[in-house]
C-alpha cells in the first residue's frame, strides 16, 4: 500500500514536471520595462495578464525600470551588461538618438504590421516627427504632454487677479502683490533652478524658451540654432524673479500644494496623486493651468511650450524570436482604442494617437478628466525635446554656464548665454 502511494506521488511529480517543461518550451518569455511610475506599472501589468491569458505562445513579464539614479542609466547598464529587456517605455527622443547611434534599437517600421498599426491609430502625421535621419522609426510614441504651468488661482483671487498673467511684466505684478500681502510666500519655489541636472531644464528653461522663441529649435545637427534674444529674455526673467525675492531656490516640500508658491510647471501625471493626497486642490477653484508666459515685446498668437513626449522601443540585443514576440504584444495593446482609453484613465495622460477628437472611445474622456482639456488644447503648440545624442551635456552646460549663474547674480543674462553657447558649441564639436 505504502509502496503504491509512493509510486503514485513520484509519477505525479514527474508528470507535473513534464507539464511545466512543455509550457516553458511552448512560450517565448519576454520582459517589458515600464516607466518607474506606479500607475503605468499597473496599467501594463493588467494588459500583460490579459494578453498572456489570451494565447499560450508568448508570455510577457512586466516590471518597472529602476528609477535610481535615472531610468536612462538603468537602461544603459542593462544594455552594457547584456541584460536589456525585450522592450521598454519611457524613452524620449534625445536618449533614443543615443541608443540609435549605438545600434541598440530595432527599426520598428521594418516589423510586420507597422503600417496597419499606424493607420489604425491615425498616426501618419505624428510619426513623421519621430522619424530619425536614416528614415527609420525606432521609438513608438505612447504619449505626449504639452507642459503647462499651474497657478494657485485661489491665492491670485485674494490678491485681486482673476486670471493668471500671460506676460513677464504681469508675473512681476503678481509677485509684487503677493509679497505685499504674504511676505513669506513666493511666486515660485524651484530648487532645481540652481541644480545643473540636465532634465530639469525641460521644465524651467525650455517651457519658457519655446514660448519666447515661438519654438525655434535650440540645436540643429551640430550647430546651436537657438534664438539668442529669447534665451537672454528667459535668463533675465528668472534673474529678476530671484532679485526681487519672488523665487525660492531652496528645498521646499510640496510648495505649490501647500500654498508656499503660486506658480509651477505642471504635468498631468500630478493629478492622480493630487486626487489621493491633496483632494482640496480642485481645478477652477484652487488651481488652474495656463500656457507659459511671454516676454512683453513679443506678440505670438499662442505661446508654445515643451512637449514631454515618451515612447517605447525594442532592443536589438534580444533574439529575433523575442523581438517578434514583444512586437506581437505591442501591436495587441495599441490596436484596441479601449486600451488607450484605459491608459488615459489610469495615468491621467493623453495617449498619442491622431484620432482623439474623432474616435468615439474618447468621447467623454474630457468630461471625466476635465484637467486634461488644457493639455489637449496645447498639443499643437508643444515642441518635443531635442533629438541630439549629446542632450545631457548640452542641457547641463546650459544650466551650469548660463541659467544658474544668472539666477545667482554672478553673470548678466548676456554673459551667461555667451558662456553657455560657447560651452554647448564645444560639446557639439567634440
Partner 1 sequence: MKKLGWEEVRGWSLTSPYLIFTAIFFIVPLIWGVILLFTNWNLISPHRDFVGLANFIEALKSPKVHAAFFTTYKVMAIFIPTVLITSLGIALLVNSLPRLKGLISVGFFVPYLVSGVAVSLVINGMLSYNSPLSPVFRQLFGYVPDWFGNPVLAVLVISFMITWKLSGYYALVFLSGLSSIPKELYEAADIDGAGWWTKLFKITIPMLYPSLYTVMILAIGLVFGIFTEPYMLTGGGPDLATHTWYLEIYYQAFSSMRAGYASTIALINATVTFISIIIVRKIMERWGKAHGWT
Between 31 and 74, name the residue whose CB sits nearer to partner 1.
Answer: 74
* Cα–Cα distance, 369 to 241 (Å, whole number): 33
| Residue 99 sits in the site that holds partner 1 (CB under 8 A) | yes
Between 99 and 137, name the residue whose CB sits nearer to partner 1.
Answer: 99
| Residue 104 sits in the site that holds partner 1 (CB under 8 A) | yes
Binding to partner 1 (CB under 8 A): which residues in 243-272? 248-253, 255, 258, 260
| Residue 393 sits in the site that holds partner 1 (CB under 8 A) | yes
* Count of other CB atoms within 10 angstroms of residue 297: 10
For the window 184-203, what string marks contact with partner 1 as x by the rule CB under 8 A? -----x-x--xxxxx-----
| Residue 154 sits in the site that holds partner 1 (CB under 8 A) | no
Minimum gap (Å) between residue 393 Cβ and partner 1: 5
130-138, 227-235, 269-277, 391-399 -> range binding partner 1 (CB under 8 A): 391-399
Minimum gap (Å) between residue 273 Cβ and partner 1: 17
For the window 29-68, what string marks contact with partner 1 as x by the rule CB under 8 A? ---------------------------------------x
Between 4 and 81, name the residue whose CB sits nearer to partner 1.
Answer: 81
| Residue 76 sits in the site that holds partner 1 (CB under 8 A) | yes
Minimum gap (Å) between residue 94 Cβ and partner 1: 11
Of 352, 301, 342, nearest in space to 142 by CA: 352
Minimum gap (Å) between residue 68 Cβ and partner 1: 7
* Cα–Cα distance, 374 to 376 (Å, whole number): 6
Of 357, 171, 346, 145, nearest in space to 263 by CA: 171
What angle do helix axes 168-181 and 228-243 make, rounded to 10 degrees?
Answer: 10
One residue of 161, 353, 396, 416 binding partner 1 per CB under 8 A: 396
Minimum gap (Å) between residue 70 Cβ and partner 1: 7
Between 4 and 69, name the residue whose CB sits nearer to partner 1.
Answer: 69
Minimum gap (Å) between residue 196 Cβ and partner 1: 7
Q: Phi and psi (nearest 5°) for 93? A: -55, -40
One residue of 326, 385, 392, 398 binding partner 1 per CB under 8 A: 392
| Residue 77 sits in the site that holds partner 1 (CB under 8 A) | yes
Give the interface size with partner 1 as a residue count (CB under 8 A). Answer: 38
Between 161 and 235, name the residue whose CB sits nearer to partner 1.
Answer: 235
Minimum gap (Å) between residue 263 Cβ and partner 1: 16
CB-based contact 224:209 (threshold 8 Å):
no
| Residue 102 sits in the site that holds partner 1 (CB under 8 A) | yes
Residues that bind partner 1 (CB under 8 A): 68-70, 72-73, 76-77, 79-80, 98-99, 101-104, 189, 191, 194-198, 248-253, 255, 258, 260, 389-390, 392-393, 396, 404, 408
Amino acid at each position: 500500500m505504502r509502496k503504491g502511494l509512493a509510486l503514485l506521488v513520484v509519477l505525479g511529480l514527474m508528470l507535473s514536471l513534464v507539464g511545466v517543461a512543455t509550457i516553458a518550451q511552448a512560450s517565448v518569455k519576454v520582459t517589458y520595462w515600464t516607466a518607474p511610475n506606479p500607475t503605468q506599472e499597473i496599467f501594463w501589468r493588467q494588459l500583460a495578464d490579459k494578453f498572456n491569458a489570451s494565447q499560450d505562445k508568448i508570455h510577457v513579464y512586466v516590471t518597472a525600470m529602476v528609477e535610481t539614479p535615472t531610468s536612462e542609466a538603468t537602461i544603459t547598464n542593462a544594455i552594457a551588461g547584456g541584460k536589456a529587456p525585450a522592450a521598454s517605455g519611457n524613452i524620449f527622443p534625445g536618449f533614443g538618438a543615443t541608443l540609435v547611434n549605438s545600434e541598440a534599437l530595432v527599426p520598428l517600421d521594418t516589423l510586420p504590421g507597422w503600417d496597419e498599426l499606424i493607420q489604425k491609430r491615425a498616426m501618419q502625421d505624428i510619426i513623421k516627427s519621430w522619424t530619425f535621419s536614416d528614415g527609420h522609426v525606432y521609438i513608438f510614441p505612447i504619449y505626449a504632454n504639452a507642459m503647462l504651468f499651474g497657478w494657485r488661482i485661489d491665492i491670485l483671487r485674494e490678491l485681486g487677479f482673476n486670471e493668471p498673467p500671460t506676460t513677464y511684466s504681469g508675473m512681476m505684478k503678481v509677485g509684487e502683490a503677493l509679497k505685499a500681502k504674504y511676505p513669506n510666500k513666493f511666486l515660485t519655489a524651484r530648487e532645481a533652478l540652481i541644480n545643473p541636472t540636465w532634465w530639469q531644464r525641460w521644465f524651467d528653461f525650455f517651457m519658457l524658451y519655446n514660448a519666447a522663441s515661438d519654438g525655434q529649435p535650440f540645436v540643429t545637427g551640430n550647430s546651436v540654432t537657438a534664438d539668442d534674444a529669447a534665451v537672454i529674455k528667459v535668463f533675465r526673467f528668472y534673474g529678476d524673479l530671484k532679485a526681487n525675492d519672488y523665487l525660492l531656490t531652496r528645498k521646499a516640500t510640496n510648495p505649490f500644494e501647500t500654498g508656499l508658491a503660486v506658480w509651477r510647471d505642471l504635468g498631468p501625471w500630478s493629478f492622480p496623486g493630487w486626487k489621493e493626497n491633496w483632494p482640496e486642490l480642485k481645478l477652477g477653484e484652487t488651481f488652474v493651468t495656463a500656457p507659459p508666459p511671454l516676454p512683453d515685446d513679443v506678440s505670438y498668437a499662442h505661446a508654445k511650450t515643451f512637449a514631454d513626449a515618451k515612447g517605447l522601443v525594442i532592443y536589438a540585443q534580444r533574439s529575433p524570436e523575442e523581438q517578434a514576440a514583444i512586437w506581437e504584444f505591442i501591436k495587441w495593446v495599441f490596436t484596441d482604442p479601449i486600451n488607450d482609453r484605459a491608459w488615459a484613465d489610469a495615468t491621467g495622460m493623453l495617449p498619442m494617437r491622431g484620432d482623439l477628437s474623432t474616435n468615439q472611445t474618447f468621447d467623454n474622456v474630457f468630461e471625466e478628466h476635465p484637467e486634461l482639456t488644457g493639455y489637449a488644447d496645447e498639443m499643437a503648440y508643444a515642441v518635443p525635446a531635442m533629438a541630439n545624442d549629446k542632450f545631457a551635456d548640452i542641457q547641463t552646460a546650459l544650466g551650469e554656464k548660463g541659467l544658474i549663474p544668472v539666477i545667482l547674480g554672478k553673470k548678466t543674462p548676456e554673459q551667461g548665454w555667451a558662456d553657455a553657447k560657447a560651452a554647448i558649441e564645444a560639446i557639439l564639436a567634440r
